[in-house]
Amino acid sequence: MAASIIDSKIFGDIFSDAKMRQVWSDENRTAKYLDIERALAKVQGRLGLIPQEAAEEIVKNCNLEQIDWAKLKAKTEQIGYPIIAVVNQINANCRDKLGEFCHWGATTQDITDTAAVLQMREGLALIEQDLADISASLAELARTHRDTPIIGRSNLQQATPITFGYKMASILAGIERHRERLTQLKPRVLVGEFGGASGTLSSLEKGAMETQAGLMQEVGLGQPLISWHTVRDNIAEVGNFLGLVGGSLGKIAMDIKLMMQTEVAEVFEPYAPGRGSSSTMPQKRNPISCLYIHANISVVRQHAAALMDAMVADHERSTGPWEIEWVVLPEIFCLMSGALKQTKFILAGLEVDTVAMRRNIDLTHGLVMSEAVMMGLGPYMGREYAHDLVYDLCRQAIAEQRPLLDILAEHNEISKHVTREQLEGFCDPANCLGQAGVMVDRVLASL
């Protein structure tokens, strides 16, 4: 019976993704233990550190189908770690006590950590593809709406016009930085572990470093410069990287939630019959994916902080901080997979209402163009004076509920310098988009 939201039969595929759950499943983790023990036996047999016959027998019996899960569970509960239980089963399945050479010179944490890194590699590959898909959707929105005016907002108040393409390109630039970070962190974190009891490989009289190098080559990971049993910045870096990605997904969800408000109605999550409906209010179209994104990334941030706590480990083998990673690392990856999936769904089918965007720009009858008016009048009367004058005229427009353009055109001091036609140019949002299009082009060109 599943108690976690990730493994829930009802919620599991909303809060996470099946492929990511498989990466962090008991089956896949145990398969990684077997992969490492198999690779270790192959390398040590090749180096002559264990008999070749033993190596071949161990390799043959590192088979997930041979695992007795009930025995594995019972032994893990007895010992506290699953590695010995797995090695016991490999040994028992080997003939003529050849299995005694399994796990030669290794320690539990070597296998556990290297397996976790292999799982991270699989999980990061899924995330890398998700980020690429999100980037593609954002790029398409930025390209399509390069010149679509929308009001910019500051402190939840209308600011100056931008374009919807600019808004999307700004987020896209952040996603691209995450993709760059992912590329950069891989060589640091996709590094295995094989150090023995205290990390010095004292258990192997000869061939220690050759074994380490060969093992990492077999499993496709980097060879560590030195053991990292209690130096956990690599694991924490992955968690905090995913926390950063979550922040960007949360930004997307936050903006879309706000833009879906009835009074705004500029964009909507993709429509499906009944999706986002209320049990009592038939007219409602609630954001749904945005809500799950928000929940997931909030928990991921807390878990990332827990990985920072796990870095505070004692001496050469720790007493507890290590197990923090066992709890939170799978959840970080699984929750992020859900947030990424929901984000991909939103962006691939986002409904954009350009009419509503223009309507909202015009909502204040020109007040949002006050900066452009101020700058337009500045050369004639000074920027500070123009600011104070336009400020007063904006208050007048609000009090009289009249378009700002009419108030400006009627003002004697202003009409001495500029015509109504010029004022109409100042008040046209299309003339006040700055370098939005140029910036969109620069982001798209960088892809």
List the catalytic residues. Answer: 278, 317
Distance CA 154, CA 273 (A): 34
Task: Compute φ and ψ for 229, nearest 5 degrees.
Answer: -50, -40
Say if CB 292 and CB 15 are below 8 A apart. yes
| Residue 154: closest CA among 248, 252, 258, 246 | 258
**Could you give the C-alpha distances from 359 to 102, 103, 356, 371, in angstroms and in order?**
72, 70, 5, 19
The secondary structure of 281-338, three-state, reads: CCCCCCCCHHHHHHHHHHHHHHHHHHHHHHCCCCCCCCCCHHHHHHHHHHHHHHHHHH
Distance CA 417, CA 380 (A): 7
Please report which helix (H) or strand (E) contains residue 152, including its range. strand 149-154
Residue showing tokens 């010029």 = 422
- Cα 201 to the chain's mean position, in Å? 37
Please report which residue ranges of 362-435 form alpha helices under DSSP H.
370-381, 383-400, 404-410, 412-415, 420-426
